[in-house]
Amino acid sequence: MKKITRLPNHIAIIMDGNGRWAERHGLPRLGGHQAGAENMHSVIEYFIKLKLKYLTVYGFSTENWKRPQEEIAGLLHLLEEIIDKETLELHNRGVRLRHLGRLDELPQGLQQAINKALELTKNNTGMTLSFAFNYGGRTEILDAVRHIIAEGIPPQSIDEELFDSYLYTAGLPEVDLVIRTAGELRLSNFLMWQAAYSEYYFTKILWPDFGNKEIDKALLSYSQRRRRFGAL
Ligand code: FPP
């Protein structure tokens, strides 16, 4: 049997397929998101156990505002519930939380809950768990450009390192592996700058069904790849 010989340092996941999962189980879409949230909990647990350093999950994109009002409200509510229920446990396990995206466009109560969780966990030294919520890769790049111009940074001093430090992900390492569930083969505006040299793993498994065995398959696939970063 083949073994996982090399673990990525930073994994980013597009948790897709909650809606289809709900449909297959005769449930409303929110039931699928609920199941997705439960799976997210076990996936985080598993990665803590594996001692992964950085995990980033895509919870809500800037494009998701186009969904029906009821689904948006449900997702916002679910996130608030997750923060409420899980923060202390994550803190006790040494997890440092980060938020990626435009925070100021979220409801006040949610902003406060997020800020409180970030503050509580900011000095933790275990896994860094970044939550992309109201996140868009293009928006992130535009926000960085605006910020750089507003600060009057001279054009000749703008290099990749400086640009990196103006992104929501400032201080996070490159993404080694992007995982996307539910069969779609696209990046959907996720971490476009950061995933320029990532490896990709796509699976048809729907997010609520993406368990430890499926994670092992993704990790095995990653550990068999040869990364060259443009060199020979
Ligand atoms: C994509 O499935 C999933 C989302 C848009 C939200 C991800 C949310 C969770 C995993 C729930 C817990 C997390 C948070 C942050 C609330 P989809 O709805 O696009 O599925 P479909 O393509 O099958 O319709």
Q: What is the pLDDT of residue 5?
A: 86
Q: What is the pLDDT of residue 44?
A: 98
Region of residue 158 (phi > 0: left; psi between -120 and 50: alpha; otherwise: beta): beta
Q: What is the pLDDT of residues 121-132, one digit of tens each?
A: 999 999 999 999
Which DSSP letter does residue 20 get? H
Local confidence band at 1 (pLDDT 50, 70, 90 cut-offs): low
Distance 52 CA to ligand 1 centre (A): 23
pLDDT of residue 28: 97
Atom of ligand 1 nearest to the CA of 21: 23
Q: For all residues of the chain together, what is the average pLDDT?
A: 96
| 146-170: average pLDDT | 98
DSSP code per residue over 152-192: T--GGG--HHHHHTTSTTTTPPPP-EEEE-TT----TTSST
- Give the model confidence (pLDDT) of 22-75 as tens digits: 999 999 999 999 999 999 999 999 999 999 999 999 999 999 999 999 999 999
> To the nearest whole percent, how much of the chain has pLDDT over 90?
94
The answer to whether the CB of 18 is under 6 A from ligand 1 is: yes
Spot the catalytic one: 9, 39, 64, 164: 64
Going from the Cα of 15 to the center of ligand 1, the distance in angstroms, rounded, reads 6
20 lines ligand 1 (CB under 6 A): yes
pLDDT of residue 228: 80
* Percent of the chain clearing pLDDT 70 (strictly above): 100
- The reply to whether 16 belongs to the active site is yes
